Structure 1
Amino acid sequence: MSGKNRYLATGTLGVTSLLYFAALPFAGSFTGGLAVSTFGAAMVGGLADWFAVSALFRKPLGIPWRTAVIPRNRERLFSMIVEMVQDELLAKDNIKRKIEEHDIPRVVLSYLDERGGAKTVKRMVHKLLSDILDKVDPQEVGRFIAKFVRQDAGVIQLSPLLRSIGEWTVQTGYDQKIISFVAVELGNIAATAEFRGLLAEFLERALSRYEADRRRRKLFNHIARLSPDNMAVFVQQRLVAWLADMKQADHPVQIALRQRLCRYLRRLELEPQAAQEWENYKNDLLAELDIVGLMQRSLDWLLRQVGEHPQQMAQWFRQADHWVDQLLIDFQADSVQQQKVSDIVKQALLNFIDAHHDKIGDLVRERLAQLSDAELVAFIEDKVGEDLQIIRVNGSIIGGFTGSMLYCLTFWL
């Protein structure tokens, strides 16, 4: 123990002891007797309380009887502390109530926006990507994925999944976007010189078969200037223009494709045969597909790309950052999703508390059991020792007051 209260208590005992011995020669007078009685009782009170306080922690003056109370009763003390922490301070109902009161999405968003949480998430994603590429074993990953696919793919029914994806695509208008995207890409391909060359080669073969050995056809084609190159340019221009028009949502081809998609989705729902066709296709594909080899070749190619083009990793990091930012923006704007996350997190925490609340007491007891008697005494003295020293001061004061009152009563009576 250290601090001003200890020095105050020791000083009070020392001063009262000195004053007691200084007043002894004058004990025959009223004033001297009063001083002797007062300071003697204060000294005795201070000594008694010093012994009592010291006896809590150790054996004062080497006296073993009823001393060192805390070390002797450490197990009972530990049980009381464990019970207090587990059943009062961290009671199960209290923890659950606090969890229910917390606004989990607000806490998460506050952490992400105000405390740099988004940067931490991005660093974690970067670290995960780096670790995957550094430590992945293509052959082992291939075997794992193959085992998973072959064991669990049979459980997954393709037709309901495809129907759900198709219905969502139609409801959200993504079918139009997909058709427009395909039309744009096909238009870009059709506008290339390579595609025009393929058309010219195809048309040249077609003209050769058409003309054969018939001179009149050759003469007509020559007069009409139906050369493969001219025809290829004409067909290319018409095809590019047609694909550009097909980007419009009201284009007949777009309308026909959407109607056909809706009819097929309806067929998947009503005709078991249509659904079974997809299951047969899935089973045939899994039976013929070399999943291990495919995954190994894909991962080998990916690792080579990273090794040959280090900038590819930086690009993936940027894409991951964009994905994280977009995910956070969507989560912040979607109150329904926030509520779902809150419910999931709270339920997980409540289940965890139900399953492991009793571990709190075990953890507290385990930590306390690591303390030796000396460490336990030092720990408690550090927390309450200064307050206990006031007991010694109070003992001297109350003892002195009691001694003076008794002396006055006996003297006057």
Structure 2
Amino acid sequence: MGTHELTAHRDAEPLAVPGPSPEVEAERRRQLRRYKAFATGLLVVAAAIYLFCRWLETSPGETDAWVGFVRAASEAGMIGGLADWFAVTALFRRPMGLPIPHTAIVRNKKDQIGESLGGFVGENFLNAELITAKVRAAGIPNRLGGWLSEPENARTVSREVGKLTGKIVGALDPADAEAVINSTLIDRIAEPDWGPPTGRLMAQLIEEGKTEPVVDELVHWLHVKAEDAGPFIIRMLDERRPSWAPQILNDVIGEKVHRELVQWTAAVADDPEHEARQAVRCFIRQLSDDLQNDPEMIERVEKIKRDVMGSTPVRGAAATIWRSASASLLAATSDPDSLLRTKITELALNWGNNLLDDAKLRDSLDRRVTGAAAFLADNYAEEITSIISETVQRWDADEAGEKIELMVGKDLQYIRLNGTIVGALAGLGIYTVSHIIFGA
């Protein structure tokens, strides 16, 4: 981190130090006061015993030998307790408010502690070798497979994926979605000339014989229409006949025309090589060629394209597509019996069972997971640990010292207790050895 950035972080408004609930914090304060009182009480007891022994020693008359032993033990215990009181107190504040160097360490060295803590975490917890070993030892593929293979868990995955998808869809701005649809779909359709690609597609279909079913359907459709066209033909002739022509003549001609038309369309439908079929095939081939090579035909198709793409339905197609798609997707994500949710459940179950049954799949997933963990550790450990140092730097020094003392102060009071007890034992031992060697 640069000097400017570090200064900016230090000058930023102090952050409140995170901590437990007020109830838990109050209980910790009570415990800390209790342990402090006990440690201080033991120190006071040692001081009282020392003073009592000194009183006995300075009183007229002969002093019993045991007084020297007790005095030495209490004196050393008092000294040890005072020394450890000073050491523990100096961590968080100035003992008795005196400006003694190297005291109030947590308050004065807060930033350095944060940097050291960040470095310690980075070196000992966020190194690639340690993380990959821990990830590999966790057996994530086996655990994941066992969890996903349970139907209830698979349904949970489906439900959560549905919720996430619904939130994403709901958060999207319709205007942005419509812009994406326009740029990726509508505009892409309108970009190229329609004629040549259509002609090439038709040529490929002709070469593969895919247009013949179209010809069959066309001639059979014409035959069906011809069979039903009798009344229409008679009506058309009746509308155009001269007024002097008898009605019966019109009916005879109409029936004759209808019969000939039906016979002709039947012949076309029954004969695969009928000249009418050949004419249709020729027309399709010619149309395919014109669409690719005839500038006039290409321009005609382009005019049709411009008319179609400029029409109101097409201009509003993006909004219509998004409304329909988003509504359908939201309905599918919220319905546990929808095809989407069902497929997600099936996919989760299948994947879980495959992980349990396929060792290669487990190994592949394990390599991917450990590789991702190593990549994050190698490339982002510094950024992660910098959060620790930057956060500690922005803590209020007094509040940080108080919070840390609440966390560890109870255990530190044992240092004072041990100092008093061990000091007393050490003093007693030293006095005893001295007494044995040199006498009273």
Do Structure 1 and Structure 2 share a fold, with TM-score over 0.5? yes
Per the alignment, residue 157 of structure 2 pairs with 117
- Distance apart, 1:394 and its partner CA: 1.7
- Distance apart, 1:359 and its partner CA: 0.8
Per the alignment, residue 181 of structure 1 pairs with none
Equivalences for residues 102-141 of structure 1 within 5 A: 103=140, 107=144, 110=147, 113-114=151-152, 116-131=156-171, 135-137=173-175, 141=177
Change (3 A) 1:119 1:21: same
- Does residue 60 (structure 1) correspond to residue 90 (structure 2)? The answer is no
Per the alignment, residue 45 of structure 1 pairs with 80
- Does residue 72 (structure 1) correspond to residue 108 (structure 2)? The answer is yes
- Distance apart, 1:47 and its partner CA: 1.1
- Distance apart, 1:106 and its partner CA: 5.6
Per the alignment, residue 182 of structure 1 pairs with none
Is 1:141–1:296's contact at 8 Å kept on the other side of the alignment?
A: no
How far apart, CA to CA, are the structure 2 residues paired with 1:7 and 1:203? 116
- Does residue 406 (structure 1) correspond to residue 430 (structure 2)? The answer is yes
How far apart, CA to CA, are the structure 1 residues paired with 2:230 and 2:135? 74
How far apart, CA to CA, are the structure 2 residues paired with 1:71 and 1:41? 31
- Distance apart, 1:34 and its partner CA: 2.2
Could you report, residue by residue, the CA deviation over 1:242-267 in whole angstroms, capped at 9, with x for unpaired residues? xxxxxxxxxxxxxxxxxxxxxxxxxx
- Distance apart, 1:126 and its partner CA: 3.6
- Does residue 9 (structure 1) correspond to residue 39 (structure 2)? The answer is yes
Per the alignment, residue 290 of structure 1 pairs with 309
How far apart, CA to CA, are the structure 2 residues paired with 1:289 and 1:87? 65
Q: 2:52 aligns with which of 22, 43, 47?
A: 22
Change (3 A) 1:128 1:109: farther
Per the alignment, residue 367 of structure 1 pairs with 391
Could you report, residue by residue, the CA deviation over 1:17-36 in whole angstroms, capped at 9, with x for unpaired residues? 22222333222331223222
- Distance apart, 1:6 and its partner CA: 3.3
Change (3 A) 1:291 1:409: farther
Is 1:122–1:320's contact at 8 Å kept on the other side of the alignment?
A: no
How far apart, CA to CA, are the structure 2 residues paired with 1:147 and 1:313? 23
How far apart, CA to CA, are the structure 1 residues paired with 2:115 and 2:398? 19
Change (3 A) 1:96 1:410: closer
SS of equivalent to 2:316? helix
- Does residue 329 (structure 1) correspond to residue 315 (structure 2)? The answer is no
- Distance apart, 1:372 and its partner CA: 1.9
Q: 2:411 aligns with which of 387, 391, 395?
A: 387
Could you report, residue by residue, the CA deviation over 1:183-228 in whole angstroms, capped at 9, with x for unpaired residues? xxx9xxx9xxxxxx98875454367789984738849999xxxxx9
Per the alignment, residue 147 of structure 1 pairs with 183
How far apart, CA to CA, are the structure 2 residues paired with 1:349 and 1:208? 84
TM-score, structure 2 normalization: 0.56
SS of equivalent to 1:357? helix
How far apart, CA to CA, are the structure 2 residues paired with 1:316 and 1:90? 38
Change (3 A) 1:204 1:104: farther
Change (3 A) 1:68 1:82: same
Is 1:142–1:291's contact at 8 Å kept on the other side of the alignment?
A: no
TM-score, structure 1 normalization: 0.59
Q: Which amino acid aligns with 1:14?
A: V
Q: Which amino acid aligns with 1:125?
A: T
Rg: which structure is higher? Answer: 2
Per the alignment, residue 84 of structure 1 pairs with 120
Q: Which amino acid aligns with 2:342?
A: D
How far apart, CA to CA, are the structure 2 residues paired with 1:220 and 1:78? 102
Q: Which amino acid aligns with 2:386?
A: D
RMSD of the alignment, in Å?
Answer: 5.4
Q: Which amino acid aligns with 1:10?
A: T
- Distance apart, 1:88 and its partner CA: 1.0
How far apart, CA to CA, are the structure 2 residues paired with 1:221 and 1:151? 49
Q: Which amino acid aligns with 1:107?
A: L
Is 1:150–1:286's contact at 8 Å kept on the other side of the alignment?
A: no
How far apart, CA to CA, are the structure 2 residues paired with 1:291 and 1:351? 51
- Distance apart, 1:86 and its partner CA: 1.3
- Distance apart, 1:50 and its partner CA: 0.7
Is 2:181–2:318's contact at 8 Å kept on the other side of the alignment?
A: no
How far apart, CA to CA, are the structure 2 residues paired with 1:42 and 1:386? 20
- Distance apart, 1:287 and its partner CA: 6.3
Q: Which runs of 5+ in 1 are unaligned?
A: 164-185, 191-196, 223-227, 229-234, 236-272
Aligned pair count reads 326
How far apart, CA to CA, are the structure 1 residues paired with 2:423 and 2:123? 41
Could you report, residue by residue, the CA deviation over 1:360-379 in whole angstroms, capped at 9, with x for unpaired residues? 12111122112222233223
Q: Which amino acid aligns with 1:385?
A: G
How far apart, CA to CA, are the structure 2 residues paired with 1:151 and 1:95? 48
More moved, 100-109 vs 387-396? 100-109
Is 2:92–2:107's contact at 8 Å kept on the other side of the alignment?
A: yes
Could you report, residue by residue, the CA deviation over 1:45-86 in whole angstroms, capped at 9, with x for unpaired residues? 111111111112211022222322233333332222111111
How far apart, CA to CA, are the structure 2 residues paired with 1:292 and 1:82? 63
Is 1:146–1:292's contact at 8 Å kept on the other side of the alignment?
A: no
How far apart, CA to CA, are the structure 2 residues paired with 1:24 and 1:332? 82
Change (3 A) 1:83 1:142: closer
Q: Which runs of 5+ in 2 are unaligned?
A: 1-28, 58-62, 202-216, 238-247, 267-288
Equivalences for residues 303-342 of structure 1 within 5 A: 317-318=334-335, 321-333=338-350, 335=354
How far apart, CA to CA, are the structure 1 residues paired with 2:410 and 2:425? 23
How far apart, CA to CA, are the structure 1 residues paired with 2:397 and 2:181? 56
Change (3 A) 1:319 1:382: closer
- Distance apart, 1:121 and its partner CA: 2.0
Change (3 A) 1:315 1:12: closer
